[in-house]
Structure 1
Amino acid sequence: MNRRSFLYSSAAGSLALAPSSRLMAALAKDNSYRANIGIQLYTLRDALKADAAGTLKKVAEAGYKQVEPFGFPNCQPLIDGAKDAGLAINSTHFEWDSVIKPKDEGMSDFKKIVDRAKELGLSHMVIPYLQDDVRKTLDDYKKIAANANKAAEITKAAGIQLSYHNHAFEFQPKEGGKTGYDIFMDEFSPDMKFEVDVFWIKVGGHDPAALIEKLKGRVSQLHLKDLKDGLKLPEYGTIPQDSFKELGNGIIPMEPIIEAAAKAGVKHCHVEQDFSPHPLESIKESVDYLAKL
């Protein structure tokens, strides 16, 4: 199943080298990312379908402080369960067609979603995915950027930051060698930000920490996940499910990424693992890894 087409209503070591003083500050026990570490709930989609409240209690017990739901606003069990478990909700992925394929010029459907997000006190909303038919050409990406900028004006008026979450396909060269992500970097307005998924940046052939540094001031949040060694990169399409690893079990060094996040003004970091045979065990392993850094 496509990772972003799933909606809740239809779904079931130690450091090898001594860190610099800045890195030590970024990874200190009171580091805001560690103290408020989040989880993107798509990681636990099957467990949530079976028992949302019980699963979210286990998320809190594992050490997570906030959650990022998916499929908003049609995800009320996730919202209720998070509140009951004492988990904050600052950000959500939402039904992206309300921005990518709005039914009218005024984006009335999107405005309803924003109104609901404001009612809940959310501070961030994220466009989570682009289906194949809307991202074939650079002109397609330009159209998406224009719609996103318009939507960002709406969220700004509501006191909410709108961002775009990447996969690897945005980095595939198109006409003249330019990529969709190039279009977004060039054409997103100052009101429109990026939620950087470090895994997909790596899969797309780029260095996550370097990109975060390049986008300083334009990155609202991060998704932290690790990548299995041995995958031929770059890869812009489907990858094996076992490519997704717990933090510390792959080839992506998290320390430089967290340091870059601190310098770039990132607000929140969320662990995510798209596929795992045992997702609850995986998220515990990832949060434990962060705690030991």
Structure 2
Amino acid sequence: MTIQTSLQLFTIKEQLDADLDGALAQVAARGFRAVEPYDFVHRAEALAAALTACGLTAPSGHAFLASDSFVNPDGSGTTLPVPAPAEVFAAARVLGMGTVIDPYTEPSRWESVAQIEETARLLNAAAEIGESMGIRVGYHNHAHELEATFDGVTGLEVLAGLLDERVVLEVDLYWVARAGVDPVALLERLGRRVIAVHAKDGTFDPALVNAYPPADQVPAGDGEVPLVEAAAAAPALELAIVEFDHYAGDLFDAIERSRVYLDEKVAS
């Protein structure tokens, strides 16, 4: 199976907010052919037009499917309502998107198996709706799903065992490693459930790692996350996605360096 390199657009959030067309043109100029949009429902038409103009596709995207309200990237909740799954999937179809991935749920929802069962129920229900609209559903982790353990099993693996076979996983390799879990061993255990990875790298420098957003992230291949080995451990992998939560240097240079590394070491 061919593995496609993509870019999670949250990486360039500020640039997109300032100039949607110009930012995506820069992404294309850096050699990307695929991206992963976030918060795409309210701007689906404009985003679809901009992607087409730049020769970009959006095979996957992030949208909340198992939460009633928006969850901040640091895990804190809000009262801002999110679109219903059917509305999300309708927007995804406008973008030609085949897979919609829930980006995370609040850490407070990973304190018991019963809570994880409820998250699985919501994702499974979304998958039922998604299938009727030609959209596949997935879940993306941060660290808290791995830091939570139940009888020695990580919360993410508990979730995987409760999911309908139609629900897939997008594993963020940086956050797995941040949680103290071996990404390679985890992907071996999760097997064909994993169709995408966030191939995000970091140094885990103690002086930088505990900030939010993390200040230790570096271009793919420059850090300590075993990106290539982890990708090789996922037999059904379709997408290797570049992402930075934060980067102090030249961001577009960093995403291009990451793409080149993944194209050479993973996609090929």
Q: Does 1:39 align with 2:7?
A: yes
Q: How far apart are 1:91 and its partner, in Å?
A: 0.8
In 1: Cα distance, 2:88 partner to 2:67 partner: 14
The 1:289/1:177 distance shift into structure 2, 3 A limit, reads: closer
SS of the residue 1:71 aligns to: coil
Q: Does 1:287 align with 2:254?
A: no
Q: How far apart are 1:101 and its partner, in Å?
A: 2.8
2:68 to 80, 101, 116: 101
Q: Which has the higher strand share?
A: 2
The equivalent of 2:165 in structure 1 is 190
Q: Which stretches in structure 2 are left out of the alignment for 5+ residues?
A: 70-81
Q: What amino acid maps onto 2:90 in structure 1?
A: D
In 2: Cα distance, 1:127 partner to 1:284 partner: 26
Identity of aligned residues (%): 28
Where do 1:41-80 residues align within 5 Å?
A: 41-76=9-44, 77-80=46-49
Q: How far apart are 1:172 and its partner, in Å?
A: 1.9
Q: Deviations over 1:42-73 (max 9, x none)?
A: 00001111111111111111111101000121
Report if aligned partners of 1:138, 1:174 keep a CA contact under 8 Å in 2.
no
Q: Deviations over 1:113-133 (max 9, x none)?
A: 212323433210000021244
Q: Does 1:164 align with 2:113?
A: no
Provide the aligned length of Structure 1 versus Structure 2: 250
Q: How far apart are 1:292 and its partner, in Å?
A: 4.6
Q: Does 1:204 align with 2:179?
A: yes
In 2: Cα distance, 1:112 partner to 1:205 partner: 37
TM-score (norm 1): 0.77
Q: What is the CA RMSD across the aligned residues, in angstroms?
A: 2.5
In 1: Cα distance, 2:148 partner to 2:173 partner: 19
In 1: Cα distance, 2:88 partner to 2:148 partner: 33
Report if aligned partners of 2:213, 2:245 keep a CA contact under 8 Å in 1.
no
Q: What amino acid maps onto 1:258 in structure 2?
A: A
Q: How far apart are 1:231 and its partner, in Å?
A: 4.2
Question: Which structure has the larger Rg?
Answer: 1
Q: Which stretches in structure 1 are left out of the alignment for 5+ residues?
A: 1-30
SS of the residue 1:241 aligns to: coil
Q: What amino acid maps onto 1:63 in structure 2?
A: G
Q: Deviations over 1:167-226 (max 9, x none)?
A: 110012356555421320221111111111111111111122222222121112111110
Report if aligned partners of 1:199, 1:227 keep a CA contact under 8 Å in 2.
yes
The equivalent of 2:106 in structure 1 is 131
Q: Does 1:148 align with 2:123?
A: yes
The 1:290/1:172 distance shift into structure 2, 3 A limit, reads: closer
The equivalent of 1:15 in structure 2 is none
1:245 to 200, 218, 232: 218
Report if aligned partners of 2:111, 2:148 keep a CA contact under 8 Å in 1.
no
Select between 246-255 and 42-51 the one with higher mean Cα deviation: 246-255
Where do 1:228-243 residues align within 5 Å?
A: 228-231=203-206, 241-243=214-216
The 1:155/1:231 distance shift into structure 2, 3 A limit, reads: farther
In 2: Cα distance, 1:83 partner to 1:204 partner: 38
Q: Does 1:82 align with 2:54?
A: no
2:239 to 242, 263, 268: 268
Report if aligned partners of 1:271, 1:286 keep a CA contact under 8 Å in 2.
yes
In 2: Cα distance, 1:284 partner to 1:137 partner: 40
Report if aligned partners of 1:138, 1:179 keep a CA contact under 8 Å in 2.
no
The equivalent of 1:21 in structure 2 is none
The 1:120/1:86 distance shift into structure 2, 3 A limit, reads: same
Report if aligned partners of 2:40, 2:47 keep a CA contact under 8 Å in 1.
no
Report if aligned partners of 1:100, 1:148 keep a CA contact under 8 Å in 2.
no
TM-score (norm 2): 0.84
Q: Deviations over 1:142-181 (max 9, x none)?
A: 1111111111111122222100000110012356555421
Q: How far apart are 1:276 and its partner, in Å?
A: 0.8
